């Protein structure tokens, strides 16, 4: 009987304590004349923090990809493994800054960790053959299906424009090659309406060798800058400029990644600028 009595006393004491504590907080709140009004006036001059999506390959297996992206000082917002039955992993919330892009730039913006969503895809990347050539491993159909699903969701959620669906190589030419020449940019555009791609009829219209052969180097470089690439403003095709051309070819002409601005590369670039200007 005494035990029950003491229990009741303790419960009443705890309840009284919380009532007094709550009353104290309310009085303290009422004393302050300062309040934040988020209803009376609202600004119209703002836009989304998220401007783009960057695609990467991990160059690791599933287990190591998860370990690196969750335990070390590198991260991505999402991870797509090569296991068919496994869901898309969300590792960092969209409104948080993942560490995936590194030193990067595109469309006049730099430090793209600040404004982009990072998607890592489990893929070994390039494998060196005996003759020194780089061989790439295709993405699986299941991975492509998941990539398309996730990109559609993110593009709609953050109102991302087609040009800002990019590879790591686009924003860090020379330093990065992922997601590699076997990433299905064209298929994602044609089958799912994702990202940017040129119209063949426009490309053909710019395949004029006579006009192309007379163009100053800076006129060609300005076309790369117009699309968004950070192209050096030099009158020569230096090593940094060649890396930008290679990055462009990785994305839009993966059949021949030679770093040279030939007529086809130029025609594709002009067709893209016509479509997305």
- What pTM did the predictor assign? 0.86
Checking if the pLDDT of 17 tops 80, the result is: no
What per-residue confidence (pLDDT) applies to 234?
Answer: 95
Q: What is the pLDDT of residues 211-262, one digit of tens each?
A: 999 999 999 999 999 999 999 999 999 999 999 999 999 999 999 999 999 9
What per-residue confidence (pLDDT) applies to 134?
Answer: 76
- If pLDDT is split at 50, 70 and 90, which confidence band does 274 have? very high
Task: Check whether residue 141 and residue 183 sit in a common domain.
Answer: yes
Task: Check whether residue 134 and residue 173 sit in a common domain.
Answer: yes
What per-residue confidence (pLDDT) applies to 49?
Answer: 93
Active-site residue (options: 63, 85, 120, 277): 120
- If pLDDT is split at 50, 70 and 90, which confidence band does 34 have? confident
Task: Check whether residue 56 and residue 186 sit in a common domain.
Answer: yes
Range of the domain at 164: 52-192
Where is average pLDDT lowest: 64-68, 133-137, 236-240? 133-137
Task: Check whether residue 216 and residue 264 sit in a common domain.
Answer: yes
Task: Check whether residue 90 and residue 176 sit in a common domain.
Answer: yes
Q: Which of 97, 95, 91 is nearest to 79 (CA)?
A: 91
Number of domains within the chain? 2
The larger pLDDT score, comparing residue 156 to residue 6, is at 156
Is the residue at 2 inside a domain?
no
Average pLDDT over residues 193-209: 98
Task: Check whether residue 129 and residue 241 sit in a common domain.
Answer: no
Task: Check whether residue 138 and residue 225 sit in a common domain.
Answer: no
What per-residue confidence (pLDDT) applies to 37?
Answer: 87
Calculate the average pLDDT of the chain: 91
Mark whether 255 is an active-site residue: no
Task: Check whether residue 65 and residue 163 sit in a common domain.
Answer: yes
Share of the chain above pLDDT 70, in %: 87
CATH code: domain of residue 217: 1.10.101.10
- If pLDDT is split at 50, 70 and 90, which confidence band does 14 have? low
The larger pLDDT score, comparing residue 170 to residue 128, is at 170
Checking if the pLDDT of 6 tops 60, the result is: no
């Amino acid at each position: 009987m005494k035990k029950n009595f003491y229990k009741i006393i303790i419960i009443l004491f705890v309840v009284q304590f919380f009532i007094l504590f709550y009353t104290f907080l309310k009085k303290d709140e009422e004393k302050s004349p300062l309040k934040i009004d988020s209803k009376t006036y609202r600004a119209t001059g703002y836009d989304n923090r998220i401007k783009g999506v960057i695609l990467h390959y991990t160059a690791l297996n599933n287990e190591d990809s998860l370990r690196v992206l969750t335990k070390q000082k590198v991260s991505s917002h999402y991870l797509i493994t090569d296991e068919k039955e496994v869901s898309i992993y969300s590792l960092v919330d969209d409104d948080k800054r993942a560490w995936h892009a590194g030193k990067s730039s595109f469309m006049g913006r730099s430090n793209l960790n600040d404004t982009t969503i990072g998607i890592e895809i489990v893929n070994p990347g390039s494998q060196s053959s005996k003759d020194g050539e780089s061989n790439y491993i295709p993405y699986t159909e299941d991975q492509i299906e998941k990539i398309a699903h996730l990109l559609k969701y993110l593009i709609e959620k953050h109102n991302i424009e087609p040009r800002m669906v990019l590879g790591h190589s686009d924003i860090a030419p020379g330093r990065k090659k992922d997601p590699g020449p076997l990433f299905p940019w064209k298929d994602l555009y044609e089958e799912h309406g994702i990202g940017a791609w040129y119209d063949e009829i426009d490309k053909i219209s710019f395949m004029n060798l006579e006009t192309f052969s007379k163009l100053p180097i800076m006129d060609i470089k300005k076309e790369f800058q117009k699309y968004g690439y950070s192209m050096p403003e030099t009158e020569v095709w230096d090593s940094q400029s060649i890396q930008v051309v290679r990055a462009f070819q990785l994305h839009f002409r993966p059949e021949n990644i030679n770093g040279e601005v030939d007529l086809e590369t130029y025609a594709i670039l002009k067709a893209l600028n016509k479509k997305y200007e």
